[in-house]
Amino acid sequence: METAHLHTIQQYFLTGKTRSYQFRKEQLTKLKVVIQENETAILQALHSDLGKSAEEAYVSELGFIYAELSHTIKQLDKWMKPKRVGSPLFLFPSQSTITRDPLGVTLLVAPWNYPFHLLIAPLIGVIAGGNCAVLKPSEFSSHTANIIKKIISENFDSEYLFVVTGDGAKVIPAMMNNFRFDHVFFTGSTMVGKEIAKMAAPNLTPVTLELGGKSPCIVDKDVNIKVAAQRIAFGKFTNAGQTCVAPDYLLVHESRKSELLDSLQQSVTKMYSPDPRTSPDYGKIINEQRFDTLAAFLAQGEIVTGGKTSKSDLYIAPTIMEKVREDQPLMQEEIFGPILPVFTFSQPEEAMAMVGRYPNPLALYVFTSNSATEGFFTRNVAFGGGCINNTIIHLANVNLPFGGVGNSGLGQYHGRFSFETFTRPKSILKTATWLDLAAKYPPFKGKLPLLKFFMK
């Protein structure tokens, strides 16, 4: 992408056209309409890239976007209104207001695992905030990237929204090193996120980093094992495990391990049939490179169930493993695939110690009917978000902020939190002129008691 066009986008923003409520609402409404008009093509692209069924793609990608758009369109007027706040007595007669100001030209960088959802969701916040955007879909999910580029280029001014395709390792530095974006929103690995932050630092460009990590799933002894197994299997094996908030490893109370493993196998069979390779509801691995990495993990422990692979089909069966050493790559990296290592504990402190060896997970899942156990983990683990007695579905609530902590991310979005991410608070204090107390001005000699009174 030529730097000249980035400056053209910047000039478009400076015209002020994107700032009005009417313009923002029109663009959000148009985005919803054009997505609906291209829904079939989007679903086909997601199937081509990741083997997603229409139903899974709708629920995990389009459904989220429709809900987010509807919520934002409905609430935008309220979010944009200036907020009156109090003013201390010594500033009388003044009124204080906070408004939310657009940031300017933003860069959105999306991953390949939910390639539509994770690019369009932050775009909703960009539009709601009154900004312009450069969108960079992942080159690894090329079919989805192409349909996104088609939708945006055919329906929005290129000086307002512009899609850049190509090798991210080349395209992104070429832009960030030659132009100062007003905000960069990146979703992907922690390693790449750190590189994005480095490129942003020289220009003091603010960043939102939605990263990953090893998200634990803890199963206490006081649970409904069948329900827990079904919800864990769903959270882990949706999108063939290629979900940033999927349970990365399982910690189960030693007294329930055997029962849980049996129930997990039954749940996998129920969801994806005895041969998941033939199931329309079970996806594929994104590419051969990722397949090779995941396949190598299968030798790093004992396979309880699954383990079958087919490189030609980019297929790895839903797999549960045990007797995995913590020093193996399987436990040193975010798995990001359909492999679930299982460990046991006897006391909550044991589970907590293991979680502490993989700090700052993006998500935490705790299955328990004991409120003390629930509180022990939610208070003592620093995590982005999570569920009690469920997995991954906290993403579906637009009223909850989504984001990580530490190595799993920086910043939040969804719903109003997206609007706030792509705007900044602007403070305004307005003072009336009908009163101007002399006590506020020099000379101050003899006024100390009065100043103390007003400023106490």
Catalytic residues: 210, 244
Q: How far apart are CA 413 and CA 119, in angstroms?
A: 12
Asked if residues 100 and 423 have their Cβ atoms less than 8 Å apart, the reply is yes
Find where tokens 């990953």 sit. Answer: 212
Q: How far apart are CA 404 and CA 383, in angstroms?
A: 7
Amino acid letter, 440: K
